[in-house]
């Protein structure tokens, strides 16, 4: 398996759903960042199970403990080890799944790839292990905020056929805040749609079935210059991070699949200057934002906007046919606790993965832009254009 | 910049559109693979410009030369250096673009990130540099074919609003072959749609405009077990590779964004056994293939199926407003040669990137499955389950 | 900081000397390896403090706990998280060091690099954190043993000016076993030298001073073919691993610095065949082993032999002049518990780091030798030449 | 094979001794560095064969060509591809070696690892391929010089039993300059020793034999703070880089193996302040430099000093016994052109590898020290402490 992501800001995730604990090690976090467990707990609470009637009833407090890397309230540059103990694991619920390959799950592929698997609660492939990513992401978010006031806001845009009406024009984008979004049980900013989404989820639950949807993520105040073509384009690394989340089936940046229906003359975002300042001040904008904030794999100072598609939860109460390890055809009814729709709880996961990617690229850009700063200083005396303190 | 992709099977791409040459170094290719320049040239010819009236008129033979890593017709395990000389570069066509930021292009972001850019023909951000990836991908394809008979077939599924009718049921999938696809000028297997696509592209060209579309990629005979959760899931690495291609805006695996409209009971692919053999023989299949060949980030033996969305070409002949480096508003008309639609030529690029990802994961899986083989041998005497010679 | 080492078999180390715990995450360990805590504890006990009057009196049981990655006594392919709680931390002993830069320590450089440091017990730079590496190394050793019967034996060759007399001729090498070595308090196989070493260490301790020395490491049954030139030569990766251990100042492979005094005709190891079998059977040996088991960065089937130089412990009771953070010249007397000589306890650390490097290269070689195996099978039906099951 | 080194400043080396060309791709070089082919050629000329009667008579002009990454005399941030054509390859000289495993060479291990090898002139394992590293190192040197005035000077300290007398006290270190060193045919600053070294080499040549030696490398003006414990300590990465050079058998940092003979109280370098300025100004020094410029894996502002041991050249004209691929015992006399002693030509190779390591760590440190700078600015308004413009 490969459980590390990032190059300069790296995290290593470990743990199983019903093991003793889950956790994450963050390596490469700059020193002198203010950090305590509360900062991290906030995002974990947004992800944890049992938040509402719409989510799994597994009751985990998901309390995070910092084991290393922080001294007197600040990061030291040493690896930050976070641990979250598993408390409400009811492994017995899964005994009947020991030999069965659940449809839509990785039971079969894990068995074939490794010859062994921890079947209890989905083991390593449980969505529970994304808690580690959310915890690490909380640190990344804090770093992005302190350095560049970056703000990451995800929300549920669609549940099955219920689509939120939202205006993502650049001027409107500031309306979306975590506070607003979290006010909604399904994390959808369109109240009417949110009400329908709730009904859709409850209906699926009543039918022992499940539904999927789309999460939109908006990132404001992204410094110009993040992303490293040709392979580590910002959207490429975002796509990878999103497609590594459980149950995701699609990713699109800006106009995404809809771009296909447009002509070039419609799709190209006109570049404009919004004030009189020098080009390098970054006050260049685009009139529209079909690009979703990236040009050629590099952030252009506009809000990053992308969508992530989640399939309907694979675990359903409804009877399904499948096979077991001995090739017998079996009928299966899920008994473990699960979410009829993962979207509301997936919002902080999407945000966390985005934060990790951005943070990594912020540090990487800083490393590489060493002469750019120097040049600026000597020639113009204006602001540095590195990741850290660039203003847009 | 970051111009290396892959972990065990790695490529490093270099070059600019109007520099002396472009090229790629492949490191980690196993020894004893039969290889000569013709193998590579075939795919380069499928990508090269000037193939038809639908593509750019730049005339590059794109002749590849192997500079290292091959001895007496076989790879030696040493890095394989490939070079393609630039011959038909008309840099003067781009003089007027030296100071201008073209909409939809990375001129602006490159300038802001690096403080300098080679503006000639798009420099490093030209789609021309994907030729290196196609060349490297041809080697990966050959390796996949020799080891596991893997076959990668991409085709154009949609151009603007023209959508091909194709049946991707597992039994139908074998109908798609490179031969069939390449028989079509637009690389679309649905003849009726292909004709309409041609008209759509020609119309865009006539209007000095451009169109985008969707490429579908099918991969047959993929060994079971490729992909490394939780971060290097097969679909995550495919998404990254695809989103690193110029002009891509979206990626979806299997059912993709359509999965959102389905219920879990509809989406879950029923697992079935198609013959009487032992489970480990890999004769397990799924009735449907909404998953697109992956479960939990690991290939399940079904065909891999994914879509990639391409925006309409950013370079258009039509007049557009933008700004230059000195903040002047300017009007721009592209003069360089360009494609009104990149899709037909992008098919081999998509295939190449997919081949690189698969090849890397094949080697990685082989490394990690060391006891699995051993177990098999001792206990059952049956076939090895490693990447190399597994049959599905 | 950079706390991950390895490419396919990777470990991430975390923790501080006086934090809540220290630990390590092993990622990339193949599945189906038998593993329990006892296997790991054995090596930890060989490293832990308080073993004898010669070592620090800090009393840590160093009990390891497996938190993930193992199911029903076998590895699952998931990351293995190990934790060791700190129990006998007496942070108060270090209060006087809060603002002082101890000579020979990283207090000063950590302060300059990070602007903050956990001064308690050396914090992150304490040798205590090598316990994580020893724990991970124990898993690597087990894997190497199960797959290829690899045996790693380190011993103290020199303490200050006391040099053990040992015969490292290939035929003699089997005399060195962990059992023999661990029978000696200083882990030196030459009893006479061992007695003198003990006196040398006790004398240093009595003088509130410290001494250094050399550890020799011998690795038997190394599969042929490990190491990846040109940069990841086996000796290059061993050198890096050894030079990352606290207090090391030098590394030499085989003849090492002594090779300088020889002529080429003396130094070249004559290649011989020791039986009548086929070349590929690996029964090729060299008459002498000046190479130390590597040719061109690749293991040649002879025992790996290398030396590591350790400086005298920097922490001494003797009064020393230095400065504090406010630029005052201060006099310093160490009060914390420490080893007058780290060599005896460093033996398992050297072995562990060597095991990690070998394990990584074993998996890497297996990935890359995919056609080699195939060829062998088809053409000759003889044994596979991959890392896993090659016999020398 | 693994032919890439570095994390942020990365190089990928390719080519064989008697192939069409050799080359290197540098990825991660910051933009806006002034660069032309002459800068690179200077170091290549210091390494190239045929410099004097003491070196191989192969006559290669080793003319480097920049194929990408440089525009109008400056780097663009894109990968820099360098190519050096092979011109004076006399492959026929090696026909008799096709099936023979030369003692001390990797012929045997390459054959066993890969099942195939390019035997002409040593193929991939020829020291010729270090020319790529020297070329890349020239760029790294230029970057280090421009950013921090770092100066790297290597020299031959010992040939066989002839040892140069040199004083490496910090105050004396400035006497060593490339100009001085290159004035000597054997690149030894001690004229008397240099004369004896020349005789020693000539004697070996006359006897159809070879000799080895030690190169010392001094690096001045190294910024404080480079190196990333616990695994990527500066000395660990230097050790790896040096041990990847052909024919190296040992590495030692500062006092190295001699540290073993000292007591802690002797070895610890006393920390002193050399002027009245603030601690963070980096005007802290150590009285002695046994550490060799690193404490805990991080540069401390003192000159870096390390030694590298080279074995006597394996290729000798003298008759040697060995075996061929068919297990026949054969007698071998080298016919190809070769160096009786590689040390003089290896000096620029050692320097280049050191430059690459430093450059990589300079960029890495810059990425990670993001709050450190900020803190400095806000609180004190003094100089940034990042890699780029820190003064010691």
**CA pseudo-torsion sign B343, B345, B348, B354:** negative
- Strand locations in A77-117, DSSP E? 80-85
- The DSSP secondary structure of B150-163, one letter per residue, reads -EEEEEEEEETTEE
- For B228-285, what is each residue's pLDDT tens digit? 999 999 999 999 999 999 999 999 999 999 999 999 999 999 999 886 545 445 478 9
Q: Which residues pair with A308 in a beta bridge?
A: A215, A251
D386 band by pLDDT with thresholds 50, 70 and 90: very low
Q: Which tokens go with D278?
A: 């603030």
Q: Which of C250, C316, C346 to mutate to test the interface with D (most CBs of D within 10 A)?
A: C250
Q: Judge: B299–A109 Cβ closer than 8 Å, yes or no.
A: yes
In chain B, the percentage of residues whose pLDDT exceeds 90 is 77
| Range with top average pLDDT, A144-148, B383-387, C338-342 | A144-148
Q: Which tokens go with C46?
A: 């060989």
* CB-nearest partner of D21 from B15, B67, B78: B67
**Burial A126-156, CB ≥16 within 10 A → b, else e:** bbbbbbbbbbbbbbbbbbbebbbebbbbbbb
- In whole angstroms, how large is the CA radius of gyration of chain A? 22
**Helix ranges restricted to H, B107-172:** 107-114, 130-148
Q: Judge: B77–D1 Cβ closer than 8 Å, yes or no.
A: yes
Across chain B, mean pLDDT equals 90
φ, ψ dihedrals at D85, nearest 5°: -80, 145
In chain A, the percentage of residues whose pLDDT exceeds 90 is 77
Spatial neighbors of A248 by CB under 8 A, at least 6 apart, are A242, A308, A309, A310, A311
> Residue range A138-162: average pLDDT?
97
**CA pseudo-torsion sign B218, B224, B228, B231:** positive
Asked whether the predicted pLDDT for residue A386 surpasses 50, the reply is no
Q: Judge: C272–D323 Cβ closer than 8 Å, yes or no.
A: yes
The residue among D188 and C50 whose pLDDT is bigger is: D188
Q: Judge: B371–C77 Cβ closer than 8 Å, yes or no.
A: no
- Measuring CA to CA, which residue among B141, B123, B146 is closest to residue B22? B123
Phi-psi label, residue A333: left if phi above 0, alpha if psi -120 to 50, beta otherwise: beta
**Burial A82-110, CB ≥16 within 10 A → b, else e:** bbbbbeebeeebbeebeebbbbbbbbbbb
The residue among A136 and C96 whose pLDDT is bigger is: A136
Q: Which of A1, A109, A136 to mutate to test the interface with B (most CBs of B within 10 A)?
A: A109
Q: Which tokens go with D366?
A: 């810059």
Which chains contact A through at least 3 pairs of Cβ atoms less than 8 Å apart?
A: B, C, D
> Residue range A96-121: average pLDDT?
92
- Extents of the domains making up chain C: 4-385
Q: Judge: D265–C232 Cβ closer than 8 Å, yes or no.
A: no
Distances C33 to C77, C162, D131 between C-alpha atoms, Å: 9, 41, 43
**Burial A274-284, CB ≥16 within 10 A → b, else e:** eeeeebbbbbb
Report the C-alpha gap between A30 and D368 in whole angstroms: 5
D336 band by pLDDT with thresholds 50, 70 and 90: low
How many contacts does A have with B, using Cβ atoms within 8 A? 387
- For D30-75, what is each residue's pLDDT tens digit? 999 999 999 999 999 999 887 777 777 677 789 999 999 999 999 9
- Measuring CA to CA, which residue among A212, A292, A309 is closest to residue A256? A292
Amino acid B129: pLDDT: 95
CB atoms within 10 A of CB B74: 18
Q: Could you give the 3-state DSSP secondary structure of residue A203?
A: helix
- Assess contact for A380 and A162: CB atoms under 8 A: no
Q: Judge: C268–D230 Cβ closer than 8 Å, yes or no.
A: no
Q: Which of D113, D341, D349 to mutate to test the interface with C (most CBs of C within 10 A)?
A: D113
Q: Which tokens go with D374?
A: 């900020």
Q: Judge: D80–B14 Cβ closer than 8 Å, yes or no.
A: yes
Q: Which of D161, D230, D313 to mutate to test the interface with C (most CBs of C within 10 A)?
A: D230
Asked whether the predicted pLDDT for residue A97 surpasses 90, the reply is no
- Assess contact for C84 and C110: CB atoms under 8 A: no
Across chain A, mean pLDDT equals 90
Q: Judge: B19–D116 Cβ closer than 8 Å, yes or no.
A: no
Report the C-alpha gap between C41 and D157 in whole angstroms: 45
Q: Which tokens go with B5?
A: 């992709």
Q: Which tokens go with D171?
A: 């105050």
Q: Is the ipTM reported for this complex over the cut 0.85?
A: yes
Spatial neighbors of A238 by CB under 8 A, at least 6 apart, are A251, A253, A304, A306, A353, A354, A357, B243
Place of tokens 């490297």: B136
Report chain D residues whose CB lies below 8 A from the CB of B79: 1, 3, 12-15
Q: Judge: A370–D7 Cβ closer than 8 Å, yes or no.
A: no
Report the C-alpha gap between D228 and A363 in whole angstroms: 15
Asked whether the predicted pLDDT for residue B373 surpasses 70, the reply is no
Query: Kind of pairing, strands A304-310 and A213-220?
Result: antiparallel
- For A13-29, what is each residue's pLDDT tens digit? 999 999 999 999 999 99
Report the C-alpha gap between D322 and D330 in whole angstroms: 5
Q: Which tokens go with D383?
A: 């100089």
**CA pseudo-torsion sign C69, A68, D236, C216:** negative
* CB-nearest partner of C367 from B147, B363, B374: B363
Report chain A residues whose CB lies below 8 A from the CB of B365: 113
Q: Which residues pair with B298 in a beta bridge?
A: B295
Q: Which tokens go with C10?
A: 């990777």
- Assess contact for C313 and C98: CB atoms under 8 A: no
In chain D, the percentage of residues whose pLDDT exceeds 90 is 77
* A280-294, C135-149, D291-305, range with the lowest pLDDT: A280-294
Q: Could you give the 3-state DSSP secondary structure of residue D276?
A: coil
Residue of B nearest to C371 (CA): B32
Distance from the Cα of A47 to chain B's closest Cα (Å) equals: 18
* CB-nearest partner of C298 from D109, D264, D298: D109
Report the C-alpha gap between A298 and B106 in whole angstroms: 8
Q: Judge: A374–D387 Cβ closer than 8 Å, yes or no.
A: no
Burial, B330: exposed, middle or buried (Cβ in 10 Å; 0-12, 13-18, 19+)?
Answer: middle
Query: Kind of pairing, strands D64-66 and A298-299?
Result: unpaired
Report chain A residues whose CB lies below 8 A from the CB of C114: 31-32, 76-77
Report chain C residues whose CB lies below 8 A from the CB of A118: 71, 76, 78
- For A239-276, what is each residue's pLDDT tens digit? 999 999 999 999 999 999 999 999 999 999 999 988 65
Q: Which tokens go with D385?
A: 């402490």
- In whole angstroms, how large is the CA radius of gyration of chain C? 22
Q: Which residues pair with D228 in a beta bridge?
A: D232
Amino acid D148: pLDDT: 92
In chain C, which stretches have pLDDT less than 50? 277, 279-280, 282, 375-392
Distance from the Cα of A106 to chain C's closest Cα (Å) equals: 13
* CB-nearest partner of B372 from C32, C367, C368: C32
Amino acid D170: pLDDT: 73
- Assess contact for A103 and B289: CB atoms under 8 A: no
Q: Which tokens go with B242?
A: 């695809």
Q: Which residues pair with B102 in a beta bridge?
A: none
Q: Which of A5, A22, A30, A71 to mutate to test the interface with C (most CBs of C within 10 A)?
A: A71
DSSP C287: S
* CB-nearest partner of D268 from C103, C207, C252: C103
Amino acid B6: pLDDT: 98
- Assess contact for B323 and A278: CB atoms under 8 A: no
Spatial neighbors of A321 by CB under 8 A, at least 6 apart, are A329, A330, A331, A332, B270
The residue among C140 and D180 whose pLDDT is bigger is: C140
For chain B, the first-to-last Cα distance in angstroms comes to 39
Question: Which uninterrupted H or E stretch holds C240?
Answer: helix C234-243
Question: Which uninterrupted H or E stretch holds D159?
Answer: strand D151-159
CB atoms within 10 A of CB A111: 20
Strand order in the sheet with A304-310: A162-163, A151-159, A213-220, A304-310, A248-253, B248-253, B304-310, B213-220, B151-159, B162-163
- Assess contact for C309 and C251: CB atoms under 8 A: yes
Amino acid D52: pLDDT: 78
**What architecture is domain D4-385?**
4-Layer Sandwich (3.60)
Distances D70 to D65, D77, D236 between C-alpha atoms, Å: 11, 8, 32
């Amino acid at each position: 398996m490969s459980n590390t992501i990032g190059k300069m800001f790296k995290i290593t995730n470990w743990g199983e759903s019903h093991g003793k604990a889950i956790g994450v090690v963050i390596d490469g976090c700059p020193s002198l960042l203010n950090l305590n467990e509360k900062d991290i707990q906030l995002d974990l609470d947004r992800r944890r199970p049992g938040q509402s009637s719409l989510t799994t009833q597994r009751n985990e407090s998901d309390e995070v403990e910092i084991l290393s890397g922080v001294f007197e309230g600040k990061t030291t540059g040493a690896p930050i080890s976070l641990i979250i103990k598993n408390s409400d694991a009811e492994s017995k619920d899964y005994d009947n799944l020991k030999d069965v390959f659940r449809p839509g799950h990785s039971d079969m592929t894990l068995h074939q790839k490794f010859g062994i698997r921890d079947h209890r609660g989905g083991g390593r492939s449980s969505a529970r292990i994304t808690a580690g990513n959310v915890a690490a992401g909380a640190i990344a978010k804090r770093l992005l905020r302190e350095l560049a006031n970056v703000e990451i806001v995800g929300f549920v845009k669609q549940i099955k056929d219920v689509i939120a009406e939202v205006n993502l024009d650049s001027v409107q984008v500031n309306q979306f805040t975590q506070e607003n979004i979290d006010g909604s049980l399904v994390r959808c900013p369109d109240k009417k749609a949110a009400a329908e989404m709730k009904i859709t989820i409850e209906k699926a639950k009543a039918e022992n079935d499940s539904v999927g949807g789309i999460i939109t993520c908006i990132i404001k105040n992204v410094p110009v210059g993040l992303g490293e073509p040709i392979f580590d384009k910002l959207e490429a690394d975002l796509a990878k991070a999103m497609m590594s989340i459980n149950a995701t089936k699609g990713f699109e940046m800006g106009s995404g699949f809809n771009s296909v229906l447009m002509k070039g003359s419609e799709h190209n975002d006109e570049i404009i200057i919004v004030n009189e300042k020098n080009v390098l001040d970054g006050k260049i904008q685009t009139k529209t934002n079909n690009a979703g904030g990236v040009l050629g794999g590099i952030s252009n100072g506009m809000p990053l906007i992308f969508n992530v598609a989640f399939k309907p939860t694979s675990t359903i109460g409804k009877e399904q046919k499948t096979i077991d390890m001995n090739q017998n055809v079996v009928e299966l009814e899920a008994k473990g606790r699960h979410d009829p729709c993962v979207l509301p709880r997936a919002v902080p996961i999407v945000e966390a993965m985005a934060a990790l990617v951005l943070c990594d690229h912020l540090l990487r850009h800083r490393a590489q832009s060493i002469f750019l700063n120097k040049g600026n200083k000597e020639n113009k005396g204006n602001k540095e254009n590195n990741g850290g303190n660039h203003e847009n």
